[in-house]
Chain A
Amino acid sequence: MWYKRTIPLLIVFTIGVLAFAHNYVPLRISDQFRERLSEWFRIIGGFALFLGAYSLLHMHVSRIRKQQPGWAYSVFVFVGAAGMIIVGLLNEGYGPLRSAPVGQPTWYQWGYDYIQKPCQATIFSLLAFFMASAAFRTFRARNTSAALLLASALIVMFGRVAIFQTVSAWFGAQSSFARHADGLFSATTDAIMEYPNLAATRAILLGISLGAISQSLRILFGIERSYLGGGD
């Protein structure tokens, strides 16, 4: 058991204390230690990528084999992965060990630019609809707190978009009332964001910092061991 528990805990304690000390010791050896640690981390990350790829492909093989609901989508994973691997290896005839000349369009880049990026943008754009539906649900004034939330949300929205001037501009009017109303909303918005909002954010950050210290101590002293695989 000592090699599964004691040695990892000793490593955690030693590295943790050294990393803590690094913050306070300006010696060059301290910086070198930190650099070396991050190098190791990058190397381990490189190997872990193979494990990740294996995990992904193995899961989809299982889905196809067991014909689970939506297994056909898993086929696309293989089609996409195989397509990108093949065009990446062929590399416009230059092979996997040589780079194509700078500026030459490649199928690999084409796949990234015209398939992956638009797909990502599509998913990201869904956020606008989700935000609207979440806002609609949240801003229903069911009780006093929700009503306050709705009021402050409306003030912040109006303060951010200069609503009165925009509306009066639609009718071709330059109303001083609209300017003053927008100014009032803008000032109220700033006050809401700078005082109650900032105070709440800082309170949360303060709690997070203390929680982080507390968790670090539990890990450093071997009180918290769940990350080693179960058990207390």
Chain B
Amino acid sequence: MASAKTIDRFGGLVAAIAIGFSLCAAAWGQVQPPAADSVKVHDRPSDDGSAVVVEWPKPAELPENVQYVIEIARKPEDFADKKFQTIKITPSKNLLKTGREKYFGFAASNQDWYAEEVTPAEYLKPQIPWAFTAEESAHLRTVGDVAAVAGIKDALTGLEQWKSLTWCVKEGLLSEKDAQRAWLAWKLTERYAKDVTAATAEATAVQKKAEEELEQAVEARKQAQTAVSQASGPGLEQAKESLAAAVAAEARARAALRSANEAARMTGERVREGLTKSERSDVDWLGRLDSYLEQAKAKRLKKAMQEINAGTYCYRFGVRSEGGETTLVGPVGAEAVYSGRAEANLFRRYKLNNLVFALAFSGIVLTFIQIAKRNPNLYIRKIAGLEAVEEAIGRATEMGRSAYFVHGLGGVSDLATIAAINVLSRVARRAAEYDTRVRVMNWEPIVTAVSQEVVQQAYTEAGRPDAYDPDDIALVGYNQFSYAAAVAARMVREQPAAIFLIGYFLAESLLLSETGASTGAIQVAGTDSDSQLPFFITTCDYTLIGEELYAASAYLSREPRMLGSLRGQDVAKAFLMTAMVVGTIVFTMAVAFGWHVEWIKGLFEVLD
């Protein structure tokens, strides 16, 4: 028996070990923690110093039923003292570096790694100075309990407010006098809020009573109506009188409900009227102060988080099984601890291609500007719309009518508007020489001011400063359709001989150009808004399409350096066209012959 028992016990032990092993195997799946030296913690490139990157080798298959674990602590000893934060990561395709070209580029080797971006301040949260510490909170809970028993519901909130104000004084955000005023105003606001609550409850009760009375009145009226329909003979008159009284009672009940509703809606305002003028001023001031302090606190908090992110911290890496057990990388008892620091970078590496192309195109344009200085007779292709500017102003002169210049809806910071202002300068100068009035229709005040300056200068340079009238360059509307209505109406009334619609346009483009076409004016339009181009092409005599708008000023000036920039622009365009054709051929051949040319695509990828 004894030996049988021993065998049973031995068998049980073996079974337990076997079950333990099989459970472990099931929990771990096929995933083993990576080797300690394969895990890396480093600064996230191309950012403002807000995160580090933890990266580790990707296993052969997407792991299931496990999580990766990153532990972060301020110093190595904190791991032993359990003062660390844990980040749990479920493996997914999003962990792949290839999904984050912005930081890691387009290298094919990115497929071999998992990477997680860690912002330290999200885990090692900053101490909020105006919040209570753990000890204070514990104490206040007791105070709060006592306060609650004593019916002082706002004791805790009041203390929080007071501490916040004290902190603001210490930090120089608020003077002591203002803090005192804020404290008194806050207490007043609390009282005010209570009064509003009480008054609202009272008004709600009145509303409810009025609703009930109305229901009764409606019911009485219905009964009276039924009585009238059923009555006959002498009783009919009496029933009619009862109905008239019921209808009047219903009307009174409805009026009472309306006034109760109105009273309920105005409760806050009525209570506010009960405050003195100085108290109302204090309550309003507190509202503004709160908003200011919230902003100031948010700013401090952001700064505190930035300071935390700039620190060097310790990291451990491991794998967590489904059962909740974590196995860290490195030998048991001496797990690997990595350190990493986020640093602000001077350059967004992922925009390198963008910078190179911008500099290359700038180089081409500047080179042709230099060439144009030496050789002023550069050939520039003719742009019909710009050739027509002269014709349009000439026509206006012959007909003795004005020319209209419509800026559209762009602000002064829009390139299209700047281009339009440059064209306006040329048009105004030519118009001044021909003694033709130019009326400029503006939508935006700053554009109006700039246009006035530009036209005045153009008239002065043409030797006709006296012909300048500031009323010709006016703001005619400050809203899209008010603007469209004002401009269209003036076109119909004044019948201009030439209309220039140049700048950035939206839905008003067709309203303006179609009205202009109906007046018989010669119309020259120009915009970089590709959605409006079809409307202009349909309704205008000449249209400057996209780049021609930007070229307009240079073209009209005939100044060699400006023309050189246009030639540079055309050469850059030829380069891009060549690149597109060659790229299409190369990628088509790559598909046919199995070439790996993804890196070429990466060169032109735009990341933001």
Contact = CB atoms under 8 A, between A and B. Distances in A.
A214 B568 contact: yes
B562 A48 contact: no
Interface in B454-477: 454, 456-458, 460-461, 470-471, 473-476
A123 B565 contact: no
A214 B471 contact: no
Contact of B510 (A52, A130, A206): A130
Contact of A217 (B365, B415, B429, B515): B365
A103 to B, nearest CB: 6
A212 B490 CA distance: 32
Contact of B514 (A134, A208, A210, A230): A134
Interface stretch (B210-218, B250-258, B443-451): B443-451
A25 interface: yes
B348 to A, nearest CB: 5
Interface string A116-140: 1001100110110011011101100
Interface stretch (A160-168, A182-190, A220-228): A220-228
8 contacts: A58-B471, A58-B474, A59-B476, A62-B471, A70-B489, A73-B489, A134-B538, A218-B565
Interface string A170-188: 0000000000000000000
B314 interface: no
B168 interface: no
A83 interface: no
A210 B569 contact: yes
Contacts of B473: 55
B130 to A, nearest CB: 24
Contacts of B369: 221, 223
Contacts of B511: 123, 126-127, 130
B573 A207 contact: yes
Contacts of B557: 226, 232
Contacts of A28: 48, 306, 344
A63 B476 CA distance: 13
Contacts of B470: 55, 58
B406 interface: no
B105 interface: no
A1 interface: no
Given A213-B569, A230-B457, A231-B457, 4 more contacts: A48-B449, A58-B471, A214-B550, A223-B565
Nearest to B272: A101
Contacts of B535: 134
A224 B563 CA distance: 11
Interface string B20-61: 000000000000000000000000001110000000000000
A73 B489 CA distance: 10
A86 interface: no
A201 interface: yes
A69 interface: yes
Contacts of A70: 489-490, 493
A131 B538 CA distance: 10
A219 interface: yes
Contacts of B587: none
Interface string A196-220: 0000010011111011111111110
A24 B47 CA distance: 10
Nearest to A99: B284
Interface in A42-85: 44-45, 48-53, 55-56, 58-59, 62, 69-70, 73
Contact of B547 (A27, A31, A211, A226): A211
Given A49-B445, A211-B549, A226 B454 contact: yes
B265 interface: yes
A169 to B, nearest CB: 31
Contacts of A138: 538
A211 B358 CA distance: 12
Nearest to B568: A214
Contacts of A218: 554, 562, 565
Contacts of A143: none
Interface in B318-368: 344-348, 351, 354-355, 358, 361-362, 365-366
Contact of A223 (B347, B485, B490, B562): B562
A70 B492 CA distance: 10
Given A226-B426, A231-B457, A27 B48 contact: yes
Interface size range of chain B in the complex:
35 or more
Interface of B: 46-48, 265-266, 268-269, 306, 344-348, 351, 354-355, 358, 361-362, 365-366, 369, 413, 415, 418-419, 421-422, 425-426, 428-429, 442, 444-446, 448-450, 452-454, 456-458, 460-461, 470-471, 473-476, 478-482, 484-485, 489-490, 493-494, 507, 510-511, 514-515, 528, 530, 533, 535, 538-539, 545-551, 553-554, 557, 559, 561-562, 565-566, 568-569, 572-573, 576
Given A227-B421, A227-B422, A205 B530 contact: yes
Contacts of B449: 48, 51-52
B475 A56 contact: yes
Given A123-B481, A208-B546, A227 B425 contact: yes
Given A28-B344, A224-B422, A213 B533 contact: no
Contacts of B569: 210-211, 213-214
A104 interface: yes
Interface in A142-163: none
A26 B476 contact: no
A217 B565 contact: yes
Contact of B482 (A62, A69, A120, A219): A120
Given A73-B489, A205-B546, A226-B454, A59 B346 contact: no
A110 interface: no
A2 interface: no
Contact of A227 (B448, B454, B559): B454
B419 A215 contact: yes
A56 B473 CA distance: 10
Nearest to A47: B445
B562 A213 contact: no
A23 B576 CA distance: 23
Contacts of B457: 228-231
Nearest to B445: A52
A227 B450 contact: yes
Nearest to B573: A210
Contacts of B346: 25-27
B507 A127 contact: yes
A124 B481 contact: yes
With a 10 A CB-CB cut-off, give which of A49, A123, A201, A217 has the most chain B CB atoms: A123
